[in-house]
Structure 1
Amino acid sequence: MANTAVDFGVFCLLTLGGMPFLPAQAFSYTAGIANSFILNRKWTFRIRRKTNTPELMKFLLVNGFSLLVSSGLLYLLRDVNHLSLWIAKLAATGGGMAVNFIGSRLWVFSGTKTKGSEVS
């Protein structure tokens, strides 16, 4: 949720400041990636070992793909279907979140819990 708040906050500031919505989407999504890795790793998936390069590369690939999906949805919903920018952003964010969670769960952080990291 914190990543989504960062994304929406930056998106609002940029678009209300006059930036076109697709570049604003790229910047706002990227702003959420920084804390996303830490929060997903430590809180969502409870990983306790040190970060390794393959895991970080997988994370960046999943987030890059999620950015493409959310930007594509934003374009389709806003420019093709003529929805309001904020409804389109909300729907595109939902699609991007789904792709990101599935990719993170099944590929980036799959099977990497360490002993003692299970939730009681």
Structure 2
Amino acid sequence: MTTTMMAALRFGVVGALNSLVGLAVIWALLRLGVGDYPANACSYAVGVCLSFVLNRAWTFAVRGPVGSGEVARFLLVFALSYAANLGVLTLMRALGFAHSLIGQGAAMAAYSVCFFLLSRHFVFAAGRLAR
């Protein structure tokens, strides 16, 4: 298996784990009486941090101190990937897939592919090359 394929597989595992942790955070906060929006926001905050740490260390095997530029690039890539998600979702709705798992699935796929490629080639590339 190529290094890109292994990284993509690890990226998927991190995403699945991130989703489970996010749901657990939402569940716990809702049980504590926190509202939907704050619970969702906390879940995303935990998820972004977990994703950064696991993808940096495990998916892309970056070592050494974390630089502020690396964190800023990661947050930018997160925002761009989410924008790609919304763009594809909007397109799918225009194509007749409103309120559809097909449209949501296409949007999720766009987010994941965008996030993986930008993480590999923009966020964590310098750290991988420095080894």
Q: Structure 1 length normalisation: TM-score? A: 0.67
1:41 aligns with 2:62: no
> Would you say the 8 A contact 1:70–1:93 is kept in 2?
yes
- Residue 73 of structure 1 deviates from its aligned partner by 0.8
Contact 1:71 1:92 in 2 (8 A): yes
Return the match for 1:82 from 84, 87, 96: 96
The question of 1:6 aligning with 2:19 is answered yes
**d(CA) in 2 for partners of 1:33 and 1:85?**
26
Tell me if 1:106 matches 2:121: yes
Deviation at 1:94, TM superposition (A): 0.9
Matched AA of 1:98: V
Corresponding position of 2:33: none
Q: Deviations over 1:24-67 (max 9, x none)?
A: 9xx68x72423211111011001121211000000111111000
The question of whether the paired residues in 2 share the 8 Å contact of 1:59 and 1:104 is answered with yes
Per the normalisation by structure 2, the TM-score is 0.62
Determine the structure 1 residue equivalent to 2:34.
Answer: none
Higher helix share: 2
Q: Give the C-alpha shift of residue 70 in structure 1.
A: 0.5
**Matched residues in 1 for 2:50 and 2:105: separation?**
20
Matched with 1:97 is: 112
In the TM superposition, what is the alpha-carbon distance from 1:3 to its structure 2 partner? 2.5
Q: Secondary structure at the match of 2:56?
A: helix
* Superposition CA RMSD, Å: 2.7
Q: Is the 8 A contact 1:3 1:35 kept in 2?
A: no
